[in-house]
Amino acid sequence: MRSRTGGRFVKALALTAGIALSAVPGRAVWADNLTDAFIGAYNTSGLLEQNRALLRAADEDVAIALSALRPIINWAVEVSQDYTRSTVSDVVTRDEPSTFFTGLTLSQLVYDGGFSVLGKQSAQEIVLSTRQALLDVEQFVLFRAANAYLFVLEQEEAVQIRLNNVDVSSEELRASQDRFDVGEVTRTDVALSEAQLASSQADLAVERGFLAQAQAEYVNAVGNAPGRTAGLPGLPSLPGSEAEAVALAQRNHPAILSAQHEVRALDLQVQQQRANLGPNVRLFADAGIRESYDNDDNLEDASIALRFEQPIYAGGRLAASVRRSMATRDASRANLLNVQKDITQGVVDAFASFQAASASLRASTERVRASQVAFDGIREEATLGARTTLDVLNAQQDLLDAQLAEVRSRVERTRSAYELLQAQGLLTAERLGLAVQIYDPTLYYNLVKKAPAQVSRQSKDLDRVLKALRRD
């Protein structure tokens, strides 16, 4: 005959199980979601700001290269003293004139075999390469935000499940103690219940520690503490096959595009170093006032000269520079091949991980279903006295473990989906359609590409842009 204590325990256990089952799927729809995490990371990332600044530095290299094609005008002040000693008909004379000059000097490149033009084109390719590198950094920042959000979500679910385990174990201990008091079980059953409660409390403490770590990572990755999470997002649009994903990555991944632009830039540098072996022509001019300290002469002085130079021997430096640029170019070509292979492997790995996570989720869902059926059956058998309280608790523990595995499988499937997006080069703010002010890399470039003078209106526009960037 079944005791009243056992019946009360089974009812309490069923109530606790109902709480456990209802607590897992229900989430607040008004809470923070994955898009919020993406937006926070995009707007607050110091890594993005660092690489945007590096891109602006590359933009300035174009202006610097362009300046080599323009005249250089300086205001100059020169004080000189010449010493001349001559002997004519055994008569030695000495002349030490001193002069002062002030005026403008001009230097203008006329011809250098394309060296300066090639330098400008190479700098432009480096800008394009750096833009793609910035997009790759953006992918890293957004994927880290996704990981941080999913980690918080997973640990919140795990903590809730562990809390329910503690409640179940507490009910078990109370029921075991009641049954021990009326002589239905031994002291061993009570000790087993005490051990189970202690284990549940330890598991809860561990999960809470993981949750604290997840929240700290979220703050670092997103820029603010997480609110109440809104649950898992829907899966993004993914390719239907591995081959389709690989082909898309080879066309679009910023790491590949960056390496391609780098190769083109170094090809241009090889041509530039070869052009440096040829002649160059430069125009020099100056105009100003020249005075002599030896008398009161005051002259308005102007001169113009055209200088032609052809390297004949430079100690081997010029030829070594050509060979060095060729070796650097060859290294960049090899790097491009490596990047392409790495991207392909990354897509294959990510696609396989997504497929495996999807299969794992299906198995975990089936496990939850089967565990629920088993728990319901054992609970009914316990009401008839055919099962012990420990049997019911073990079945409940199996059900909760299955729920925990299902939560982790579902999170892992979402994580692997966004990992596949990143592997294809599609995890960017623009492609995700985030409600943010997308950083426009052409805005700053268009202001500096013509190398504006410091006193120009365009230079003042640049000052305003830089002030706004520093304020942000």
What average pLDDT score do residues 390-409 get?
85
Nearest in space to 252 (alpha carbons), one of 340, 138, 148, 359? 340
Give the list of residues 6+ apart from residue 381 with CB closer than 8 angstroms, or none.
Answer: 387, 391
pLDDT of residue 5: 40
Task: Name the 3-class secondary structure at 386.
Answer: coil
Given a contact cutoff of 8 angstroms between Cβ atoms, the answer to whether 416 and 407 are in contact is no
Q: Of 393, 405, 394, 407, which Cα lies nearest the Cα of 367?
A: 405
Most confident of 120-129, 176-185, 309-318: 120-129
- Predicted pLDDT at 290: 83
**CA–CA separation, 349 vs 248, rounded Å?**
15
Residue reference for tokens 């201990």: 173
Is the distance from CB of 404 to CB of 442 less than 8 angstroms? no
Q: What percent of the chain shows pLDDT beyond 70?
A: 87
Check whether 10 has a pLDDT greater than 60: no
pLDDT at site 20: 36
Q: How confident is the model at residue 112 (pLDDT cuts 50, 70, 90)?
A: very high
pLDDT value of position 387: 76
What pLDDT, in 10s, does the model give residues 320-349? Answer: 999 999 999 999 999 999 999 999 999 999
pLDDT exceeds 60 at position 139: yes
Alpha helices in 182-229 (DSSP H): 187-222
- What is the predicted pLDDT for the residue at 449? 86
Residue 334 placed within a domain: yes
What are 26's two structure tokens?
């229900």
Cα separation of 315 and 299, whole Å?
43
Q: Which of 424, 450, 388 is nearest to 139 (CA)?
A: 424
- The more confidently predicted of residues 411 and 10 is 411
- In this prediction, residue 265 has a pLDDT band, given cuts at 50, 70 and 90, of very high
What confidence tens digit (pLDDT) does each residue in 45-85 have?
999 999 999 999 999 999 999 999 999 999 999 888 777 77
CATH of the domain at 19: 1.20.1600.10
Instruction: Label each residue of 87-156 as H, E or C.
Output: EECCEEEEECCEEEEEEEEEEEEEECCCHHHHHHHHHHHHHHHHHHHHHHHHHHHHHHHHHHHHHHHHHH
Bridge partner list, 284? 107, 305
- 169 within some domain: yes
Any domain includes 137: yes
Burial class (CB in 10 A: 0-12, 13-18, 19+), 42: buried
Q: What pTM, to 2 d.p., does this model score?
A: 0.83
The identity of residue 267, as a single letter, is D
Domain interval for residue 22: 4-83+127-439
pLDDT of 84: 75
What is the predicted pLDDT for the residue at 18? Answer: 38
Token couple for 433:
């359609």
Instruction: Report the amino acid identity of residue 152.
Output: V
pLDDT in tens, 219-264: 999 999 988 888 888 889 999 899 999 999 999 999 999 999 999 9
The answer to whether residue 393 is domain-embedded is: yes
If one counts the domains in the chain, the total is 1
| E strand intervals along 209-321 | 280-292, 298-309
Mean pLDDT of 131-143: 97
First to last CA, the chain: 75
Please report the pLDDT score of residue 382 as a whole number: 67
Q: Decide if pLDDT at 465 tops 80.
A: no
Residue 94 lies in a domain: no
- pLDDT at position 383 is 59
The pLDDT value given to residue 394: 82
List Cβ neighbours of 157 (8 Å cut-off, separation of 6 or more).
24, 404, 407
Among residues 234, 237, 238, 241, which one has the least CA distance to residue 410? 234
pLDDT for residue 23? 36
**For the chain, how big is the Rg over CA atoms in Å?**
38
Q: How many CB atoms lie within 10 A of CB 29?
A: 8
Instruction: Say if residue 92's pLDDT is above 80.
Output: no
Q: pLDDT by residue (tens digit) across 182-213? A: 877 678 878 888 888 898 899 999 999 999 99
Is 451 a member of any domain?
Answer: no
174 pLDDT higher than 60: yes
Whether 103 maps to a domain, the answer reads no
- Of the listed ranges 211-215, 367-371, 446-450, the least confidently predicted one is 446-450
What is the model's pLDDT at position 49? 94
233, 410 Cβ separation under 8 angstroms: no
Mean pLDDT, the chain, integer: 85
Is 108 part of a structural domain of the chain? no
Give 96's pLDDT tier (boundaries 50, 70, 90): low
Strands (E), 214-357: 280-292, 298-309
For the segment 291-312, the average pLDDT, to the nearest whole number, is 83
